[in-house]
Amino acid sequence: MPNGDSVLSCIPLRDRPELADRAAEWFHDKWGVPKAAYLERMEAYLSGASEYGWYLCLDGERIAGGLGVIENDFHDRKDLAPNLCAVYTEPDCRGRGIAGQLLDLAVDDLRSKGVSPVYLLTDHVGFYERYGWEYLCMAQGDGEDGMSRIYIHR
């Protein structure tokens, strides 16, 4: 359990590369995507082969939240890249601004490398707008019956 007074630290994975295996397992547990797929993308980022990063929020040494950046987040709009993916905050840590800090960190980091705009696929309405994201269009998620929303951060 997090302590309400604990200090949160939002970081790019490059700041703590030793957390890659634990982070890949954490993302796998949240989203069901194979751990190996996360590790492959994290290793590309850590080696400098990709600037599409992975970002964690730590509550002490516990992963309280995270997100990544990939080319396409499993939808039919392949022209909209890169995509933030796997945005998640532990339920007992919500309401502490973790998602907003991670979103800002990722967008700012990508922008500093000349990568802008950035996109994300979601079913949420009203959440991402708080952090400067704008609704762009609908997209078909791979294997999904319904359509999902794509947001852009310019």
pLDDT-derived band at 144, boundaries 50, 70, 90: confident
pLDDT at 5: 59
Burial class (CB in 10 A: 0-12, 13-18, 19+), 119: buried
DSSP output for 14-74:
GG-GGGHHHHHHHHHHHH---HHHHHHHHHHHHHTS----EEEEEETTEEEEEEEEES--S
pLDDT at 4: 54
* CATH fold group of domain 8-115: Aminopeptidase (3.40.630)
pLDDT 10s digits, 30-82: 999 999 999 999 999 999 999 999 999 999 999 999 999 999 888 999 999 99
Nearest to 133 by CA among 114, 116, 146, 147: 116
CA–chain centroid gap for 109, Å, is 12
pLDDT at 1: 47
pLDDT 10s digits, 86-142: 999 999 999 999 999 999 999 999 999 999 999 999 999 999 999 999 999 999 988
Question: The pTM is what?
Answer: 0.92
